[in-house]
């Protein structure tokens, strides 16, 4: 197995766009791929039809390799019929009122079926299928490889990385606790898997035989150079790209990212029911003060009612951000990519 990501993925530079659930855009994914990296698109909550439409749009926007990202079920997801949401509904009532929307009725399902999503991914035939929250089934890995699709898993601990390597993935994202968005732990509780990037990456590199991609705290050339010094074969970058005009982030979100100091992010379950890193706002404080958070994905569905109704209100959206978000103030993908590429070893440029 090659540890060279450009050879593995068919790209020019080992720079991967973090897949944003709900914040991915065709323009951003295509721009990173066109720059020579691996653009990624997060498919959280996407039906098979929507995945096919998205892949078609990506094909029209770029002829370079890209990745599609799926969330794997962990087995603890609550179903609508099982959800007791009275307390959680009461907690978000003032936020629904602020957004001017009614308390939403329960859907038939909170999430699409994984097999439906996978069927659409096979039709889309991306260069890479990346997954979070677990080890893909053997038949999924085999089918991807049969179709010439590389598989990338995501780990927050050495044990998770070993499990992914044993499961046949082609590369592993080592996601440090500094990273924006959801902590994608699957062997232990996320609160028990908060290993920093500087500690996690070299231990994962030592434990597995597949290339390791460093994620968390990488925002400029210094972070890239540090990741390669730790033994990483590439980097995955989120917040720095999220600030660009090509992303689907709102202006309010971009402003918050650029103003973020090192201590301005928190880990919270308030917005989705799963632990995630972002900038606290009225929504987070209101829900946490009420002390009533529904299990995932019920909480994510419930907060989506006010988030989607007020997408430009910084107090009512999920302000996902990493601890190094304030290091980047570049507004275009090309500028961010050039800055990151300047930190690559000479052999990788």
pLDDT of 308 above 90: yes
How much is the mean pLDDT over the chain? Answer: 96
The predicted structure's pLDDT at residue 291: 93
Residue 329 or 65, more confident: 65
pLDDT digits (tens, 9 = 90+) for 111-129: 999 999 999 999 999 999 9
Residue 348 pLDDT greater than 80, yes or no:
no
Mean pLDDT across 60-68? 98
Tokens of 135: 């080890």
CA distance 218 to 266: 18
Closest CA to 308 of 25, 100, 55: 100
Over range 289-299, report the average pLDDT.
Answer: 96
Mean pLDDT along residues 223-243? 97
CA end-to-end distance (rounded Å), the chain: 21
| Domain covering 5-348 in this structure, CATH number | 3.20.20.70
- The percent of residues above 70 in pLDDT, for the chain, comes to 99
**Is residue 44's pLDDT more than 70?**
yes
Domain boundaries, given as residue ranges, for the chain: 5-348
In this prediction, residues 234-242 reach a mean pLDDT of: 97
Is 80 exceeded by the pLDDT of residue 192?
A: yes
Model confidence at 327: pLDDT above 80: yes
Give the pLDDT confidence of 118-159 residue by residue, as tens digits. Answer: 999 999 999 999 999 999 999 999 999 999 999 999 999 999
pLDDT of residue 165: 98
**Residue 261 and residue 10: Cα distance in Å, rounded?**
36
Q: What is the pLDDT of residue 1?
A: 60
pLDDT at 21: 84
The yes-or-no verdict on residue 71 having pLDDT over 90 is yes
Picking from 126, 196, 209, 127, the residue whose alpha carbon sits closest to that of residue 164 is: 209
Reported confidence tier of residue 349, pLDDT bands at 50, 70, 90? low
DSSP lists the bridge partners of residue 213 as 173, 234
Beta strand pairing status for 15-17 and 234-237?
Answer: parallel
The arithmetic mean of pLDDT across residues 223-230, rounded, is 98
- pLDDT value of position 13: 98
Q: Can you tell me the distance from the alpha carbon of 261 to that of 69, in angstroms, rounded to the nearest whole number?
A: 29
Q: How confident is the model at residue 38 (pLDDT cuts 50, 70, 90)?
A: very high
User: What pLDDT score was predicted for residue 3?
Assistant: 79
Distance CA(116)–CA(82), nearest Å, equals 23
Q: How far is residue 196's CA from residue 193's CA, in Å, rounded to a whole number? A: 9
Mean of the pLDDT values across residues 66-72?
98
Q: What is the largest CA-CA distance in the chain?
A: 57
pLDDT of residue 22 exceeding 90, the answer is no
């Amino acid at each position: 197995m090659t540890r060279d990501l450009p050879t593995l993925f068919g790209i020019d530079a080992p720079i991967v766009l973090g897949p944003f659930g709900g914040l991915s855009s065709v323009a951003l994914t295509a721009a990173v791929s066109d720059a020579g990296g691996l653009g990624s698109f997060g498919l959280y909550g996407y039906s098979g039809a929507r995945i096919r439409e998205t892949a078609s749009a990506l094909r029209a926007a770029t002829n370079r390799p890209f990745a599609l990202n799926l969330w794997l079920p962990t087995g603890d997801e609550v179903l609508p019929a099982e959800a007791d949401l009275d307390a959680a509904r009461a907690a978000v009532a003032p936020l629904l009122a602020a957004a001017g929307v009614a308390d939403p009725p329960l859907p038939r399902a909170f999430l699409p079926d994984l097999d439906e999503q996978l069927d659409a991914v096979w039709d889309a035939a991306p260069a890479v299928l990346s997954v979070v929250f677990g080890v893909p089934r053997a038949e999924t890995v085999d089918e991807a490889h049969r179709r010439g699709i590389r598989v990338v898993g995501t780990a927050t601990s050495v044990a998770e990385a070993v499990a992914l390597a044993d499961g046949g993935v082609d590369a592993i994202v080592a996601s440090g606790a500094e990273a924006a968005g959801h902590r994608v732990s699957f062997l232990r509780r996320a609160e028990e898997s908060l290993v920093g990037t500087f500690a996690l990456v070299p231990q994962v590199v030592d434990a597995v035989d597949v290339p390791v991609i460093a994620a968390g705290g990488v925002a400029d050339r210094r972070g890239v150079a540090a990741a390669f010094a730790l033994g990483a074969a590439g980097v995955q970058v989120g917040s720095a790209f999220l600030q660009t005009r090509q992303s689907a982030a709102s202006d309010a979100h971009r402003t918050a990212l650029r103003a973020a100091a090192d201590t301005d992010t928190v880990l919270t379950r308030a917005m989705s029911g799963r632990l995630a890193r972002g900038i606290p706002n009225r929504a987070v404080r209101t829900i946490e003060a009420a002390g009533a958070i529904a299990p995932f994905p019920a909480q994510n569905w419930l907060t989506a009612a006010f988030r989607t109704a007020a997408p430009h209100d910084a107090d009512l959206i999920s302000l996902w951000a990493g601890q190094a978000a304030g290091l980047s103030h570049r507004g275009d993908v090309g500028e961010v990519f050039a800055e990151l590429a300047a930190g690559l070893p000479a052999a990788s440029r």
